[in-house]
Amino acid sequence: MGKKVIKNGCIVTPSDRYYADIYIDGDKIKSIGQDLHIPEAEIINADGLYVLPGAVDEHTHMSMPNGGTLSMPWETETVAAAVGGTTTIVDFAIQEKGSSLEDTIHKWRARATGNTAIDYSLHIAITDLTDEIIREIPLAVEQGVATFKLFMAYKEDKMVDDSTLFQVLKKAKEVGGLVMVHAENGDVISLLQDQLIEEGKVQPLYHAVSRPIEIEAEATRRAIALAKVAEAPIFIVHVSGEESAEEIRRARSKGQPVYGETCPHYLFLDESYYDLPNFEGAKYVCSPPLREKFQQEKLWSAISDGTIQTIGTDHCSFNYKEQKHLGLNDFRKIPNGGNGIENWIQLLYSYGVSTGKISLNKLVELTSSNPAKLMGLYPKKGSISIGSDADIVLFDPEIEQQITAAKQKQGSDYNFYEGFKIKGSPRHVLLRGEVIVENGSYIGCHSQGEFVKAQPYGAAYDMLSQKRGNKGENQSNKVTGAL
């Protein structure tokens, strides 16, 4: 591994842009300064490049059972992630009914170990709450899994009721855990779906019809209300439009610790994709569904005004041919999910930074530092600072490409963003001091990724502790500035 110095690059943090050298010793950033001369260090020339912290994608589903099939595996998708500038993912370990949390974590780590090209941490999705599972929540936190996902939809398997959500909010709060919710009203979706199928409306378009934004906004509001009563922070994943964002905005304006994430597909794609002929709309079946085009601007505004703090890919990728086709005669059977981990940073740069919607600092905040802070991984991850892991992206703003499945590393036979032109792409990527992407090509081994233990009391607790004026209480990791 040895010593390396990154020279002549423009370092970008959430607050600054400056030219300095970065000295990496082994897997850590040792120092940052002007004109560093380190004998025997390998020099990496970053002239003309931005030096960004590796992206932290807090929302992925690798090898996840969904709709009777498995999403794309760690092996392909983490290489794609690396090429795209992501050095850490936080994947959802899904509890099978009857399984313990310990077994679930064990199973997910066994799948990832030796098969991941980048570092990973885990959330655990509780689908079957018992007294024993409640008792296990503190143990999961001790094992480094401090974020708990609850699905308010997917009645066929993963959905939980309000009682479960409330109990987990309360218990997780006791040990500094953060509850994340998939907010859609699963009961009503199920009724609408059955009605549409009875009427012979089986095509992909009706997936979106069965999941109107009001259904998402209602669940968002309910989850926020339950979190308020439980006095717990809450994180709303994959916010797809203004109605849900408004619920978060309102709660935050009253000082409630509510956090939100949106995804690239809600910023760059829209519901017209469901009208594609020959069942191609199935490629875009994800939940919540793609929305009307005007919602994209609403989401950019919610990002700018601080309602939404992070962007995650919700990468849950399937093949169009064998997998999406499971729902050829019934949209309910189309496995939900899409892809994006290879291209999200390029897209956000090309269509977010270059168009003036967000600054490059904000890009770093949304895709790296804020996810790391909220998920309890900061400052080990998500930061270019002394002592942090040397997870670094050397980003070339001049590289021009057109996205196509034919050239992708992602395992799927299609790409959500087929045909999108991008300008700006990672040139080199370092994972814990090791160059794993060189000139855009993956040169790492496929098994170097390590499990990263999340710390409890992440940034979601800052607002609570500031409110009580006891910032130090219960806080085991240091985070800077409430989000």
Interface ranges with ligand URP (CB under 6 A): 61, 182, 286-287, 314, 316, 336-337
Alpha carbons 14 and 370: distance in angstroms, whole number: 9
Q: 427 CB contacts (<8 Å, ≥6 apart)?
A: 49, 394, 395, 396, 399, 437, 439, 440
A 10 A CB-CB count for 1 gives 11
Considering beta carbons, is residue 61 or 249 the nearer one to ligand URP?
A: 61
Considering beta carbons, is residue 152 or 360 the nearer one to ligand URP?
A: 152
Residue 362 burial by Cβ neighbours in a 10 Å radius (0-12, 13-18, 19+): middle
Considering beta carbons, is residue 20 or 152 the nearer one to Zn ion?
A: 152
152, 333, 339, 406, 461 from 66: Cα distances, Å: 16, 10, 14, 25, 32
Residue 235 CB, nearest distance to Zn ion (Å)? 12
Residue 151 CB, nearest distance to ligand URP (Å)? 7
The verdict on whether omega for the bond into residue 264 sits within 30 degrees of 0, i.e. cis, is no
Considering beta carbons, is residue 180 or 303 the nearer one to ligand URP?
A: 180
Q: Is the Cβ–Cβ distance between 357 and 301 less than 8 Å?
A: no
Residue 145 CB, nearest distance to ligand URP (Å)? 17
Residue 59 CB, nearest distance to ligand URP (Å)? 7
- Binding partner selected for residue 180 from ligand URP, Zn ion, none, CB under the kind-specific 5 to 8 Å limit: none
- Binding partner selected for residue 368 from Zn ion, ligand URP, none, CB under the kind-specific 5 to 8 Å limit: none
- Binding partner selected for residue 56 from Zn ion, ligand URP, none, CB under the kind-specific 5 to 8 Å limit: none
Q: Which stretch binds Zn ion (CB under 5 A): 50-58, 168-176, 261-269, 308-316?
A: 308-316
Considering beta carbons, is residue 152 or 460 the nearer one to ligand URP?
A: 152
- Binding partner selected for residue 336 from ligand URP, Zn ion, none, CB under the kind-specific 5 to 8 Å limit: ligand URP
Residue 116 CB, nearest distance to Zn ion (Å)? 18
Residue 335 CB, nearest distance to ligand URP (Å)? 8
Degrees (nearest 5) of the Cα angle 460, 466, 471?
90
The residue with tokens 């956090």 is 259
Residue 217 CB, nearest distance to Zn ion (Å)? 15
Residue 286 CB, nearest distance to ligand URP (Å)? 3
- Binding partner selected for residue 337 from Zn ion, ligand URP, none, CB under the kind-specific 5 to 8 Å limit: ligand URP
Ranges within 5-64 binding Zn ion (CB under 5 A): none
How long is the chain?
A: 483
The residue at minimum Cβ distance from Zn ion is 182
Degrees (nearest 5) of the Cα angle 333, 77, 271?
45
Considering beta carbons, is residue 12 or 286 the nearer one to Zn ion?
A: 286
Considering beta carbons, is residue 79 or 263 the nearer one to Zn ion?
A: 263
Candidate list 158, 182, 291, 409; residue touching Zn ion; CB under 5 A: 182
If DSSP codes are grouped into helix, strand and coil, which group holds residue 349? helix
Give the DSSP letter string of 376-408: T-TTTSS--STTSB--EEEEEEEEEEE--GGG-
DSSP state of 159: B
Please, what sign has the CA dihedral across residues 284, 298, 169, 86? positive
Considering beta carbons, is residue 337 or 426 the nearer one to Zn ion?
A: 337
Alpha carbons 378 and 260: distance in angstroms, whole number: 18
Edge to edge, what strands does the sheet with 3-7 contain?
28-33, 21-25, 3-7, 42-45
- Binding partner selected for residue 286 from ligand URP, Zn ion, none, CB under the kind-specific 5 to 8 Å limit: ligand URP
Residue 158 CB, nearest distance to ligand URP (Å)? 8
Please, what sign has the CA dihedral across residues 239, 241, 242, 244? negative
Candidate list 57, 91, 314, 391; residue touching Zn ion; CB under 5 A: 314
Considering beta carbons, is residue 234 or 430 the nearer one to Zn ion?
A: 234
- Binding partner selected for residue 295 from ligand URP, Zn ion, none, CB under the kind-specific 5 to 8 Å limit: none
Residue type, 334: I
Q: For residue 330, report the phi and psi dihedrals to the nearest 5 degrees.
A: -165, 105
Considering beta carbons, is residue 171 or 315 the nearer one to ligand URP?
A: 315
Residue 384 CB, nearest distance to ligand URP (Å)? 30
Instruction: Give the CB-side neighbour count of residue 346, counting CA atoms within 13 A.
Output: 26
User: Taking Cα atoms as reference points, which of 107, 141, 145 lies closest to residue 124?
Assistant: 145
Q: Which residues form the interface with Zn ion (CB under 5 A)? A: 182, 314
